[in-house]
A = this chain, B = another copy of it.
Amino acid sequence: MTRPSAKLIQAAQAASRRLADRDTPFIYNAWYVAAFAEEVGEALLRRTLLGKRVVMFRTSEGRAVVLDDRCPHRSFPLSASRRDGDTIVCGYHGLRFDSHGDCVEAPSQSPCPKGIGVRAYAVVEHGPLLWIWMGDPAEADPAQLPPAAWITDPAWETSHGYMDLRASYVRLHENLLDLTHLSFLHAATIGTPDYAGAAYQTELGDGRFALVRNVVPTSLPPVWGEPTGLYGKPTAARIARSEFHSPAMHEVNVAFYDTALPAESRPEFRIRTAHLPTPETATSTHYFVVHGRDFAQQDAAITHAMHERLFAAFHEDVVGLALQEELLASADEDFHEMSLAADGPAIAMRRYIKARAEAEMAARAAARQAEGSVAARAQPQPA
């Protein structure tokens, strides 16, 4: 077309204004993966999570600790400081913080002033994952952890990996909720040409959004065809359910079987992937992944081969989303995005994130103001 019509552009822009994107505030009241458990040990580990710098370590008793990384005295990074037992001694003026974030020693001043410290975040360790709650501490309820019990269930053989995604976590969630892209972005790895056009159903709940694709019959790519023995058969079934569970987790479940065999006796193979994005900044994301399968659990060679092939595909997402983010950054007044029917769950998810983020931000501002008033009243008044 010579150019898209003004009417179409303006309608698309109006629809997009309701969707979360790179300029949407973070949702703090949620559990996010801070690190793989194995990353947190004796050494001080620095990371930026939801825009905030933290430092992590594991106490001598094995408890994972996450503190704000900034010494509240003169803003020196604790992650560039020295660990001494289960305390951190600031590398600038020597303030010592215990594993609860409390300042317990100030070398230039004795006794140490009261009430100085850094925030210690609530954390929950579960299998390979260290979860963190960076929102209101009063709401840090482990019962709200995304449902991922299978990760430590021996019925599931798992592997995990990390990617540095140079894009917003919102766009990664969007990517995962519409697997149409498997036929194109992943044409050389996990996609097949028939995937994009396969029938699908959507499920739009309250904070849970899913899309189920039935690719039947199909041929499986080697990554799954080989370990299931279905490779080369044109009668395979691939039933994929993509579901947004929380800002911090999207789960993909896929079942494979051979439609040429009787339904009651055919073997069924299942894989499951927890995609665990934790925003670093508005346009960069720590992309943690745990992948599992419920078959051939003891076969290390299969574990290795599936991991390698699957992460090659996830790397295609990382490259593609960074290219998308680069274009989003150069948006001008004509910028607009048009949605298709298969975007339904992703649109609902992006509306949900935006609404939740904005409600949380408003509540936070109100709480800050209320605390300020209390603090002001608590000040000694000038005579």
Binding site for B on A (CB under 8 A): 1-8, 10-12, 48, 51-53, 69-70, 72-77, 80, 89-94, 100-102, 106-110, 113, 115-120, 122, 137, 174, 178, 180-181, 183-185, 196-197, 320, 323-324, 326-328, 330, 332-333, 336-342, 368, 371-372, 374-376, 378-379
Given contacts A6-B374, A75-B328, A106-B340, 9 further A-B contacts (CB under 8 A): A3-B119, A6-B375, A7-B374, A7-B375, A51-B330, A76-B324, A77-B326, A93-B184, A108-B340
Chain B residues with Cβ below 8 Å from A118 are 1, 4
Q: Which of A75, A80, A119: most chain B Cβ within 10 A?
A: A75
* Inter-chain contact A5/B108, CB cutoff 8 Å: no
A1 touches B374 (CB 8 A): no
Q: Given the complex of chains A and B, what is the CA–CA distance between A116 and B2 in angstroms?
A: 11
> Shortest CB–CB separation between residue A126 and chain B, in angstroms?
21
Residues of B within 8 A of A342 (CB): 108-109
Cβ B338 vs Cβ A92 within 8 A: no
Given A51-B332, A91-B184, A91-B320, the answer on whether A7 and B119 have CB atoms closer than 8 Å is no
Beta-carbon contact of B328 and A119 below 8 Å: no
Q: Could you list 21 examples of A-B contacts with CB < 8 Å?
A: A1-B100, A1-B102, A1-B119, A2-B101, A4-B116, A4-B118, A7-B379, A11-B379, A51-B332, A73-B337, A75-B328, A91-B185, A93-B178, A93-B184, A94-B196, A107-B180, A107-B197, A113-B338, A113-B340, A116-B338, A333-B368
Let me know if B372 and A10 touch, CB within 8 A.
Answer: yes
Alpha-carbon gap, A379 to B107, bound state (A): 65
Residue picked from A12, A107, A178, A320, most chain B C-beta under 10 Å:
A107
- Complex CA–CA separation, A12 to B74 (angstroms): 12
User: Across the interface, which residues of B come within 8 angstroms of A339, CB to CB?
Assistant: 73
Q: Are B320 and A92 in contact (CB under 8 A)?
A: yes
Q: Is the CB of A120 within 8 A of B2?
A: yes
Query: A87 → chain B, closest Cβ, in Å?
Result: 13
Which residue from chain B places its CB closest to the CB of A3 in the assembled complex? B119
How far is B72's CA from A330's CA once the two chains are assembled, in angstroms?
14
Which of chain B's residues have a CB closer than 8 A to the CB of A11?
375, 379
Given A4-B119, A115-B8, also A75-B184 (CB < 8 A)? no
Chain B residues lying within 8 Å of A330, measured Cβ to Cβ, are 48, 51, 53
- Nearest chain B CB to A167's CB is how many angstroms away? 11
Q: Considering the chains assembled together, what is the distance between the CA atoms of A94 and B342 in angstroms? A: 13
CB neighbours (8 Å) of A5 from chain B are: 115, 375
Task: Give the shortest distance, in Å, between A11 (CB) and chain B (any CB).
Answer: 7
Instruction: List the 6 closest pairs (A to B, CB-CB), nearest first.
Output: A6-B371, A107-B196, A7-B375, A1-B117, A3-B119, A108-B342
Q: B residues within 8 A CB of A3?
A: 119-120, 137
Residues on the B chain within 8 Å of A326, using CB: 77
CA distance in complex: A119, B4 (Å): 6
CA distance A374 to B10 in the complex (A): 11
Chain B minimum-CB-distance residue to A368: B6
Most buried by B among A72, A102, A341: A72
A75 CB, min distance to chain B CBs, angstroms: 5
Contact partners of A100 in chain B: CB under 8 A? 1
Which residues of B have CB within 8 Å of A80? 320, 323
Minimum CB–CB distance for A134 against chain B, Å = 10
Residues of B within 8 A of A48 (CB): 330
Pairwise interchain contact A77-B1, C-beta atoms closer than 8 A: no
- Report the bound CA distance from A312 to B359 in whole Å: 52
